[in-house]
Amino acid sequence: MFRFTGDCKLTRLPAKQNKTLDIVTVFHKASSPASVKVANLVKQISANAQVGATIDQASDHSAQTKPGREPFELNITEDAPTTDQVQTILGYVGTGGISKVIKGARDEKDALKRFKESKENFLRPLTVDWNNGKAIAGDNESEILKILDAKKND
């Protein structure tokens, strides 16, 4: 973007320095071993992305040492999502994933009805990448890595 200065010269405005981070939420249940596993995995992915970003800013590295994704803001919550969030999540998972998000649900309408009846019908863990429109229910590590575009370090 350009602007005119007082002496009628064009000057380039500085590029936006601070990029807004993507938001990833893990809907968590502390008493669930699967949920604890997912929370720990996503924390590790987030930490690796943060470290990678800091290293990349300090020096140039080959593609092999770059993290699998840009840093993101991680929210791990035991709170139930809002009805609007559930509706968005159902859109992310598609028809085939609805029963993995809301216990016993057959379709989106049924899922929203069941969720409104009881927040306990919302199944955890559930990992959501809000900015990229992706969600994965359960503790499938490879699927979580895939939606977060992370590389597995084995």
Which pLDDT score, from 0 to 100, does residue 64 have?
45
pTM given for the model:
0.77
Looking at residue 50, its pLDDT comes to: 80
Peptide bond into 67 cis (omega under 30): no
For residue 36 the two structure tokens come to 């604890």
| 7 domain residue, yes or no | no
Nearest to 147 by CA among 133, 139, 53, 138: 133
Cβ-Cβ contacts under 8 Å for 108 (sequence gap 6 or more) = 87, 90, 95, 98
12 within a domain of the structure (yes/no): no
Whole-number pLDDT of residue 149: 80
Domain membership of residue 73 as a residue range: 21-147
Amino acid in position 15? A
- Any domain includes 91: yes
Q: Which token pair is 132?
A: 């990229």
Instruction: Give the model confidence (pLDDT) of 39-82 as tens digits.
Output: 999 999 999 888 755 554 545 444 444 446 789 999 999 999 99
Number of domains in the chain: 1
End-to-end CA distance of the chain: 44
| 2 located within any domain | no
pLDDT at position 75 is 96
Residue 132, pLDDT score: 92
Residue at 86 is within a domain: yes
pLDDT for the residue 107? 97
Under-50 pLDDT residues of the chain: 1-7, 10-14, 16-17, 56, 58, 60-67, 154
CATH of the domain at 70: 3.40.30
Q: 118 lies in a domain?
A: yes
Q: Are 30 and 16 in contact (CB under 8 A)?
A: no
Q: Is residue 109 part of a domain?
A: yes
Ramachandran quadrant class, 138 (left: phi over 0; alpha: psi -120 to 50; beta: rest): left
